[in-house]
Structure formats: C-alpha cells, structure tokens
Amino acid sequence: MPNAVIILAVILAALMMVVGGATGIRAFMSIILNFIVLFLNIALISWSFPAMAITIISSLIILAITIFMGSDDDRITQNAFYSSVLVLVVLVILIVLIKPHLMIQGFGNENNEDLEGMSLLIGIKFNDVMTSTMIISTLGAVAEAAIAIATGLEELIETTPDLDLAKIFHHGYDIGKEIIGTALNTLFFGFFGSFLGLFTWYVKLNYSFSEFFNNKIFAAEFSMILIGFIGVISTVPLTAWVIQFRQRHAEKHDSV
C-alpha cells in the first residue's frame, strides 16, 4: 500500500521546486531539518537529558534553520536571527514565571482513552516536557515576524540612503504594525486548526464555563496562543532595536 505521507511530501517538494526554484528547495529542506531537530529534542528528553538545556539548544538550531534557509540576504537573516534570539529569551523568562501557576503538564481527563494500558510512572517530569512544548510552539511565528520586519526595514534603508539613524526604530515600529495583524492571524488560525476536535468535545460534553476555563488542556492551548502573541508582538520593537543598534555600530566602524 503506498504511503500517503511520502506521496504528499513528494508533491510538496515538487511544487516548492517549481514555484520557488532553489529557494523553494531550501524551504522544503528547512522543514525536514526542523523535523529532525524536533525528533531529536523529544528523544533526548525521553532519555532524561535536562529538558530546558536541550530545548534551548534545539530552539536556537530551529531559529537558525528557519531564518538562514529562508533568505539569501545576509544582513536580513542576521538581524532577524539576533532579534528572534532576544524574543526567545523574553519568552523563556515569561514561561518560567507563569508555568508554576498554570500546572498544565501531562494529560487531562480528556486523554483517558489514549492513556489506556500505558504506564504513567515514567520517571520523567511532564512539567519539563511542557516547557519544551511551549517554547517550541512559538518559534516559527517569532522567526517569521522577525524576517518580515527585518526585510521591510532593510528595503527602507536601501532605498533611502540618508535615512536618519535615530528614526530607524520608529520606521521599524511602523513596518511592524503593518505585519502584526496578519502574523497574529497565522498563529491564531494555526492553533484553531489544531484544537477543533477539543472544542467540539467541550461543547458536546456540556462543560460549564468554569470547568472549561480552568481545564488543563484548554489552559495549555490558550496559554500557548497568548505566549505566541506576546512573542510576535515583542518581535516588533526588538527587531527594530537590533537593526538600529547594528546600523549604528557599523557606521561607527566605518568612520574610524
């Protein structure tokens, strides 16, 4: 029996090649490489390696793959990478602070059927696994937003040679405003697409508002959307700041 996964992967690779040429092939490769990193991330955590350290290393690799394989322009990719690393720092701090109060690790009553026959006493803290899930779920959106803003600003810098350095931050903010709506939508619909089943479950089984709002799985999904939003929004000032900083630095270098 032919495997649907392989057929779909071949179709996607072919389309990406036809539409994007070399860039398209690189885009396809970035998905495959990111998948390998994700898989190793899980495997290492399941082998009791420290989850936080593993996740941060995986996150840096994923950001690098997504950003550097996405574009040819070195300045754009470097700016986007630095700013997304800064956003990653912000998000890790936020997640570490909020997670002890959310306690969304592991599984809910809604998973009971999937857990049948499983040993749950596996000696791995699901708390750590959840940290990994929360951090990694936002990486794509952060990288995408950082690339969009860095690209927009770079175009502006190239077309306006006498651009006032002090105003770069301001321009970055304006460009950020333009992309923020669509970037949030991408994230928002992405999440809705992954928990449509869960929501029909809540409605079908008549969860009360308090049951639903305090539910472990709902809290997990909802907090991940919100953390993703906060990540994407903070990409705007941080990218603008990184570009201003590096531009100022480069000019100082030139004048010496």
Partner 1 sequence: MRWNKKLILFLGTIIVSVAIVFFVKNNAFIYNTPVGHVEDVQVLSKVLQEDNFGNKDYIVRQRLKIRILNGKQRNKLLNVNNEYSLSQATDLKYRTGQDVLLHFNYRKGHVAGTTITDLKRDVPLTILATIAISLLVLMGITGLRALFSLLLNTVLFFIAVEIDVQQEGFGVLAIFSILAGIFSLITLTLVLGWNKKMLVSFLTTVVGTFSAIIIGMIVFKITHNGGLHFETMEYVTQNPEPLFLAEIILGSLGAVMDESTDIIVSLAKLRKENPTISMKQLWISGRNIGKTIMGPLLNVLFMIFMSDTFSMMVLYLRNGNGWGYSFSMNMELGFVQSLISGIGIVLTVPIASWLVGIFFKKGAVRNA
| Beta carbons of 88 and 163 less than 8 angstroms apart | no
Residue choice 52, 60, 71, 156 for contact with partner 1 (CB under 8 A): 71
Count of residues engaged in binding partner 1, rule: CB under 8 A? 122
Those residues whose C-beta lies under 8 Å from the C-beta of residue 61, and which sit 6 or more positions away, are: 37
Please report whether residue 35 would count as binding partner 1 according to CB under 8 A: yes
Q: CB nearer to partner 1: give 93 or 250.
A: 93
Q: CB nearer to partner 1: give 89 or 103.
A: 103
Residue choice 169, 188, 207, 241 for contact with partner 1 (CB under 8 A): 188
CA distance 36 to 20: 23
Please report whether residue 12 would count as binding partner 1 according to CB under 8 A: yes
How far is residue 4 from each of residues 9, 24, 57, measured CA to CA in Å?
8, 22, 32
Q: CB nearer to partner 1: give 144 or 239.
A: 144
Please report whether residue 92 would count as binding partner 1 according to CB under 8 A: no
Please report whether residue 40 would count as binding partner 1 according to CB under 8 A: no
Which residues ranging from 127 to 166 are in contact with partner 1 (CB under 8 A)?
Answer: 127, 129-130, 132-134, 136-141, 143-144, 147-148, 151
| Beta carbons of 195 and 225 less than 8 angstroms apart | no
CA within 13 Å, CB half, 192: 6
How far is residue 158 from each of residues 68, 89, 154, 197, 237, measured CA to CA in Å?
20, 30, 6, 47, 20
How far is residue 23 from each of residues 30, 81, 179, measured CA to CA in Å?
10, 18, 22
How far is residue 148 from each of residues 45, 86, 172, 199, measured CA to CA in Å?
32, 16, 10, 32
Residue choice 192, 248, 249, 251 for contact with partner 1 (CB under 8 A): 192
Please report whether residue 185 would count as binding partner 1 according to CB under 8 A: yes
Which residues ranging from 206 to 245 are in contact with partner 1 (CB under 8 A)?
Answer: 208, 210-211, 213-217, 219, 222-223, 226-227, 229-230, 233-234, 236
Q: Which stretch binds partner 1 (CB under 8 A): 85-93, 160-168, 183-191, 242-250?
A: 183-191
Q: CB nearer to partner 1: give 86 or 183.
A: 183
Min dist CB 69 to partner 1, Å, is 7
| Beta carbons of 227 and 138 less than 8 angstroms apart | yes
Please report whether residue 49 would count as binding partner 1 according to CB under 8 A: no
Please report whether residue 56 would count as binding partner 1 according to CB under 8 A: no
